[in-house]
Amino acid sequence: MNLRAPDPRSAADPTVLLHIDWTKCDGRGLCTEILPELLARDEWGYPLSYGYGSNVPVPDRLLDAATDAVSLCPRQALTLIDR
């Protein structure tokens, strides 16, 4: 289980995390097109956010795009978690 959050936290940090279920993700990379600011692709195509693992903090201004990514992911591998 990787529920790791970035430390230390401050009040300004985003409170919503984009969770990647690696057991579902096929690495075709649709989410990285919708969220280029947040997600790069690793050499095999899987979404990669430097400094974060399975839970990527979403800044407020990217919340709409993140919500789109969640609903458009063909494998339903993405969820938003409030912390």
Partner 1 sequence: MSRAPDTTLFPPVQAPAGTTRLTAARAADYGTHQTTFGPLPAHTDSAALLAALRDSGLEGRGGAGFPAWRKLAAVPARERARRRRVVVIGNAAEGEPLSQKDATLLLRSPHLVIDGLLTVAGALGAHSVYLYAQASVLEAVGRALAERADAAGIELREAAESFISGEASAVVNALAGREPVPQDRTVRLTESGLGGRPTLLHNVETLAHIALIARFGAAWFRSVGTKGDPGTRLVTVGSDGHPSTVLEVAGGSRIGDVLRFTGVDTGTLSAVLVGGYHGAWLPAYALEARLDRADLAGFGANPGAGILMGLGERRCPITVAAAVATYLAGETAGQCGPCVNGLPAMAAVLRRLARGDRDPGLPGEVRRLAAIVTGRGSCNHPDGTARFVLSTLTVFADDVAAHLAGHCRKDHR
Contacts with partner 1 by CB under 8 A lie at 1-4, 19-27, 42-46, 48, 52-54, 79, 81
The one of ligand SF4, partner 1, none whose footprint includes residue 58, by CB under 5 to 8 A per kind, is none
Minimum CB distance to partner 1 smaller for 21 or for 68:
21
Asked if residue 27 lies in contact with residue 44, where contact means CB atoms within 8 angstroms, the answer is yes
- Give the integer Cα–Cα distance in Å for 46 and 31: 10
- Give the integer Cα–Cα distance in Å for 35 and 58: 10
Residues that bind ligand SF4 (CB under 6 A): 20, 22, 25-31, 47, 73-75, 77-78
